[in-house]
Amino acid sequence: LGSSSSVPFTSIFSQLFMTVVVPLIIGQIVRRYIKDWLERKKPPFGAISSCVLLMIIYTTFCDTFANPNIDLDKFSLIIVVFIIFSVQMSFMVLTFLFSTRNNSSFTPADTVAIVFCSTHKSLTLGIPMLKIVFAGYEHLSLISVPLLIYHPAQILLGSLLVPTIKSWMVSRQK
């Protein structure tokens, strides 16, 4: 097309490494040394994790829709929501079909884990990655819209499918 661009791969890789991998490694090392203390004290990590996730979602949502440069009409937003729900549902159906093939050695419990775990992605990893990869890009808010929709979509679809998958799993285990 006659145009070119340079992508700072080393900078992006080092920032992603520092944001994602280093905290994971440090957490695993620290956990080894304070595991007994954590089991005795039982800090409310679930509540803390939920609050941090809520803050990430809230700040991203505010950053996205407070941006005056975001040019997203209602029809486009509805189309994006439809596409995301379709993609999420398709992934769930494909993983279900893949894990229940005749020559598959997965148990019904394995299948449920595969369907829910393989298709679910989190804002806590996606938003920092977007901010690193697209740092300084003026349409970062627009790029984050699908991820902001995908996260609630996976929760909604998952909760709607729980009764159906539960009855399927119970009937298969008998």
- Using the structure block, give the residue that is written with the tokens 């679809």: 157
Closest CA to 85 of 130, 144, 152, 142: 152
Q: Is residue 32 part of a domain?
A: no
Identify the pLDDT of residue 50.
Answer: 82
How many Å apart are CA 27 and CA 82, to the nearest integer? 38
Q: Is residue 119 part of a domain?
A: yes
Q: Is residue 78 part of a domain?
A: yes
- Using the structure block, give the residue that is written with the tokens 């419990």: 109
Q: What is the pLDDT along the chain (174 residues), one digit of tens a residue?
A: 566 667 788 888 898 899 888 988 998 999 899 988 888 888 888 888 888 878 877 887 787 777 777 777 888 889 989 999 999 899 999 999 999 988 888 888 899 999 888 877 777 778 888 888 888 777 777 888 888 888 888 888 888 999 999 999 889 877
Closest CA to 96 of 157, 142, 141: 157
- Using the structure block, give the residue that is written with the tokens 């280093």: 22
| pTM to 2 decimal places | 0.68
Domain that holds residue 49: 44-173
Closest CA to 155 of 107, 123, 128, 131: 123
Identify the pLDDT of residue 90.
Answer: 93
Total count of domains within the chain: 1
Identify the pLDDT of residue 82.
Answer: 94
Q: Is residue 13 part of a domain?
A: no
Identify the pLDDT of residue 2.
Answer: 64
Q: Is residue 35 part of a domain?
A: no
Q: Is residue 61 part of a domain?
A: yes
How many Å apart are CA 118 and CA 100, to the nearest integer? 15
Identify the pLDDT of residue 123.
Answer: 75
- Using the structure block, give the residue that is written with the tokens 């990590």: 45
The conformation of residue 109, written as its DSSP 8-state character, comes to: H
How many Å apart are CA 104 and CA 19, to the nearest integer? 37
Identify the pLDDT of residue 5.
Answer: 67
Q: Is residue 36 part of a domain?
A: no
How many Å apart are CA 70 and CA 137, to the nearest integer? 12
